[in-house]
Chain A
Amino acid sequence: MGKWLRDAMLMYDRNITLSLRSPIWVLVALFQPICWLTLFAPLLSKLSDVPGFPPGGGLTVFTPGMLMMLGIYSSAFVGFGLIPEIRAGIIERFQVTPVSRSALLLGRSLRDLTVLLVQGALLIGAAALLGLKADVRGVAIALVLVMLLGLLMSSLSYRLAIAIPREDALAQVVQFLTLPLVLLSGVTLPLTLAPEWLQRAAIFNPFAHAVSAARALFLGDLGNREIGIAFALFSLLAPLAAWRAVAAFKKSAA
């Protein structure tokens, strides 16, 4: 365990150093959600009177959705960072050392989660500047939730990158998989506005529960049922996906 932690921290340090060397990418990933916040969220101000619109006003409804969208998109593409390193033989060079295989991959995931946490905090800061009012404890818990979601997405992304080590093909697959999940989770407009069939379909989408849970958390409704459902789902799915990614990584060059 001591060796594992040491290995994981070595990989974490290395990857954080590389991220800090080009911090611009941390901000680029933030650009989309901030665009949504500034250019789209104002459209909601008149919608809050429409029947079915959740309580709390435009930004309080909208920011949690953007936080979860950030979690999905920021993490879904981390696999792209692995491909050039596989191609350059860096991963292979690491694999011929006694370093733990799982630490090699999870050290990277840990970096991805750190980046996500910074991005999430910046996003909420930006929303606060725009006038967001939210429950502080709830926001903190929502950040934990988005980290679990990020671990799930980054693990899936690494799993895919190992199976499809080509950027162009991987981009298609990731887009193909994420778009329906995002649309069917109500990140932009709440699913409470949706027709019944769409609401039913969303029940099977874990991200829909994450978004509902985050909205409840921002409102300070900490006893909301959706929070329990979301945490149960993601505490199960995220480690499972991480475990599958590590297994694939080990098998890729046993």
Chain B
Amino acid sequence: MLRAMLAIETRGLCRRFVSRKGTVEAVKGVDLQVADGQVYGFLGPNGAGKTTTLRMLSTLLPPSEGTAVICGHDLRTAPERVRESIGYVSQGGGVDVRATGRENLVLQARLFGVSKTDAFTRAAEMSRRFQLEDFVDRMASTYSGGQKRRLDLALGLIHRPRLLFLDEPTLGLDPQSRANLWEEVRQLRAQGTTVFVTTHYLDEADALCDRLAIIDDGRIVAEGTPDELKQQIGGDLVTVGIAGPAEHAERARTLLAALPGVDAVETADGDRLRLRTKRGELLLPEVVRALEGDGLALQTLMLGRPTLNDVFLRQTGRSLRED
């Protein structure tokens, strides 16, 4: 029963590439469970194995090892059934620029077995929904980046798939088109479509995804809802700057570590101290009182919530923003 409610379930999914220089293991045993109707984010730096995993899940690349069940169909034994259930929008899209938008849409629908009349009806529906109507009969070579992206999305959805794969959907889009795409993804979720989206934008993952997995060097290093992942960091972060010589900072460290509710004290950004706590707001006045009581001069005090970047930093030892 539980199985039927999963859009994606993988076990030990691996992919090796053999070249003259040797074997490269791009994906090293990925276990995923994506429930029906979720927007699931797949997060990781370039080269982490995001696209390789996506290509395996969408039947483009056979796994070297492991199993995957997509919409109830085994990836290895029933790839055709998988293809019937999924939509796939690759990073570069796949619009044929020598044809019109409508021709692209009609052919795409027909490749899924839709009759000619129905294919035209659906193409019209899609061009309404994605605001392509004004230019749908023009050659796609004349489209702007945002227009092409909307056509990509329409092509991925024209056969009404249960599950949509989006590979870096907002890469290279202007802020307006990006916001529109987010809105479209939210609407898809409202309609019950499962969306599996890879991204390396943390704000995107945070704003859009019900759950997410972080992949690094071919392995899943963290999985959960954005809030769960941020809570794993240990609640809030209080950053304290102390004026004066280094020994003052050392004294402050001992003092603050002893405060009730402080889970850990770390050194951050050189001479500042970072406290992990589950009760940030309540801790602030106590920090001030404790430092004043010991005659230490407080220079700066900051309360912050962990971001997905902190999660990423903790799991991979790298900041995603550096990419």
Contact = CB atoms under 8 A, between A and B. Distances in A.
A49 interface: no
A93 B113 contact: no
A85 B98 CA distance: 10
B250 to A, nearest CB: 58
A94 B111 contact: yes
B83 interface: yes
Interface stretch (B14-22, B84-92, B212-220): B84-92
Interface in A41-89: 85, 88-89
Contact residues of A: prevailing secondary structure: helix
Size class of the B contact interface (CB-based, 8 Å): 20 to 34
Contact of A97 (B83, B92, B97, B98): B83
Given A95-B60, A253-B61, A88 B95 contact: yes
B107 A253 contact: no
Contacts of B108: 93, 97
Contacts of B52: none
A7 B107 CA distance: 10
Contacts of B95: 88, 90
B80 interface: yes
Interface string A6-20: 010010001001100
Contacts of B155: 93
B97 A96 contact: no
Interface string B97-126: 111000100011011110000000000000
B84 A98 contact: yes
Nearest to B89: A93
Contact of A96 (B86, B92, B98, B99): B86
Size class of the A contact interface (CB-based, 8 Å): 20 to 34
A251 B95 CA distance: 23
Contact residues of B: prevailing secondary structure: loop
A96 B60 contact: yes
Given A14-B107, A93-B88, A88 B94 contact: yes
A10 B99 CA distance: 14
Given A10-B110, A94-B111, A89 B92 contact: yes
A17 B111 CA distance: 16
B111 A89 contact: no
B244 interface: no
A72 B111 CA distance: 32
Interface string B52-86: 00000011111000000000000000001001101
B111 A99 contact: yes
B203 interface: no
B88 A96 contact: yes
Given A96-B58, A96-B60, A254-B61, A88 B83 contact: no
Interface of B: 58-62, 80, 83-84, 86, 88, 90, 92-99, 103, 107-108, 110-113, 155, 159
13 contacts: A7-B111, A10-B107, A10-B111, A14-B107, A18-B98, A88-B92, A89-B90, A89-B92, A89-B94, A93-B155, A95-B59, A95-B60, A254-B62
